[in-house]
Amino acid sequence: MRDVIVRIITILKTAARQVVSFFSQLPWADMREAVVRIVTGIPTVARAFFSKLTWKKAREGIARMDVAQRKRVFIIAGICLVVIMGIFSRALLTRPSYPIPRYIRYSYTAKNMTNRLVREAHFWTYAPVKRTPTQKCVTIKASHPYKLITDALGNQILFFTLTDIPPYGTQIISIEANLKLADKPNRLSIKGKKHYLKAEEYCEVDDPAIIQQAKQLRASETKKTAENCFRWAANTVQYTGYIENPRGALYALKEKKGDCTEFMYLFVALSRANKIPARGIGGYVVTDNAILRPNAYHNWAEFYDDGTWRIADPQRKVFMQNQSRYIAMHVIGESSKNPIGKAYRFKYEGQGIKIRMNR
């Protein structure tokens, strides 16, 4: 009898592990796909179970048991079943949710500044980030054919080849995207954690002044430390208005002034110096469907805590609030696969060509 009980428990454990493995691989892009995956996954678990135990053997084993032994077997089997169902329901309840639809549109004008025909010019620009804890990019459409490039940080870059632009002529490149947003951030695993802790250009994490200030803001909990860094940057740095070229975290710390970029870099540097993964984000803050304008471009930060990225915008004094209003276009950081390089919004190449974002 003991051997039968051990065998049943072993089989149920195997089934439970396969259920866990099954759910851990689900992308949960939408509920319909999830249901299809669940239904198609059931035979896999069933085959594993029945390949190791036949009903005949089970009946024979149970028939040899007395009432008390049968009761124990059914209790153990019931507990295992409850555990499996708990895993099943937990996976359903914790699936990502992006309930807020949002439509955005933006455009650029490419102008031939010469009296000669431009046979070919190249143009790269950002599309909305594919997925963040509060944003999912569903569709992208453009007026011109494009190649989609993704980098290690999750950025989506649209690459256009523009052809046959006449002397002093123009071409307008229009882009539209449908997004799904969430005010409550979904859980999202962090990839390459070390990248979000290291020093980078304009983010001088290893500078003694940054380290000293970060130490003074350190608390016992990650969230509280991040909030201290946020409030110190928000209340100490004076907003100067737009500055064309970034100055960085150390400049903001010493000069106590800057635009949204300096606020962002200072928060990121202070967080990283306190061993909190943090990153800069470029994009737009909107409350409804919108046409994006160049003068509305904004930089803010995110820090990683409790299984997800959380928004911190020290220039606008927003900490983990109104997160569905933030449209992420660019995860700022060093990435070898990003053809736009250090440019924040777009890049172009072509003799005699000038491209600007339309207002």
pLDDT digits (tens, 9 = 90+) for 182-209: 999 999 998 889 999 999 999 999 999 9
Q: Average pLDDT, stretch 16-43?
A: 48
Domain with CATH 3.10.620.30 in the chain: 193-338
Q: Within 10 A of 161 (CB to CB), how many other CB atoms are there?
A: 13
Question: Is residue 38's pLDDT more than 70?
Answer: no
Question: Taking all residues of the chain, what is their mean pLDDT, rounded to a whole number?
Answer: 85
Residue 95: pLDDT band by 50, 70, 90 thresholds? confident
Instruction: Report in angstroms the alpha-carbon separations of 73 from 5, 65, 70.
Output: 6, 10, 5
Domain with CATH 2.60.40.2250 in the chain: 100-182+347-357
Amino acid, res. 193: K
Query: Per-residue pLDDT for 50 more than 70?
Result: no
Residue pair 350/109 in contact (Cβ under 8 Å)? The answer is: no
pTM: 0.76
Beta strand spans in 242-297 (E): 257-258, 278-285, 290-291
Higher-pLDDT residue of 267 and 337 is: 267
Q: What is the mean pLDDT of residues 26-39?
A: 46
Least confident interval from 14-18, 117-121, 189-193, 296-300:
14-18
pLDDT in the model for residue 192: 87
**Least trusted range by pLDDT, from 97-106, 231-240, 254-263, 336-345:** 336-345
Residue 196 DSSP label? G
Residue 4: the pLDDT is: 52
Confidence of residue 75 (pLDDT cuts 50, 70, 90): confident
> Is residue 92 predicted with pLDDT exceeding 50?
no
pLDDT at 228: 98
User: pLDDT tens-digit profile of 204-221?
Assistant: 999 999 999 999 999 999
Radius of gyration in angstroms for the set of CA atoms belonging to the chain, rounded to a whole number: 27
pLDDT at 23: 47
Q: What is the pLDDT of residue 30?
A: 43
| C-alpha span between 84 and 13 (Å, rounded) | 9
pLDDT at 73 over 70: no
The Cα-based distances of 56 to 16, 68, 70 in angstroms read: 23, 21, 16
Pick from 345, 315, 311, 351: nearest CA to 330:
345
Among residues 111, 242, 127, the alpha carbon closest in space to that of 178 is found at 127
pLDDT at 27 over 70: no
pLDDT in tens, 257-302: 999 999 999 999 999 999 999 999 999 999 999 999 999 999 999 9
Return the higher-pLDDT residue of 129 and 2.
129
The answer, yes or no, to whether residue 3 has pLDDT greater than 70, is no
Residue 353 pairs in a beta bridge with 112
Weakest mean pLDDT among 81-85, 206-210, 221-225: 81-85
Give the CATH number of domain 100-182+347-357.
2.60.40.2250
For the domain covering 193-338, report its CATH number: 3.10.620.30
Q: Which long-range contacts (CB under 8 A, 24 or more apart) does 317-324 make?
A: 317/234, 319/227, 319/230, 319/231, 322/183, 323/134, 323/182, 323/183, 323/184, 323/185, 324/100, 324/134, 324/181, 324/182, 324/183
Band of residue 1 on the pLDDT scale cut at 50, 70, 90: low
337 — pLDDT class (breaks 50, 70, 90): confident
| Average of per-residue pLDDT across 248-256 | 97
Reported as a pLDDT band with limits 50, 70 and 90, residue 41 is low
Instruction: Say how many residues make up the chain.
Output: 359
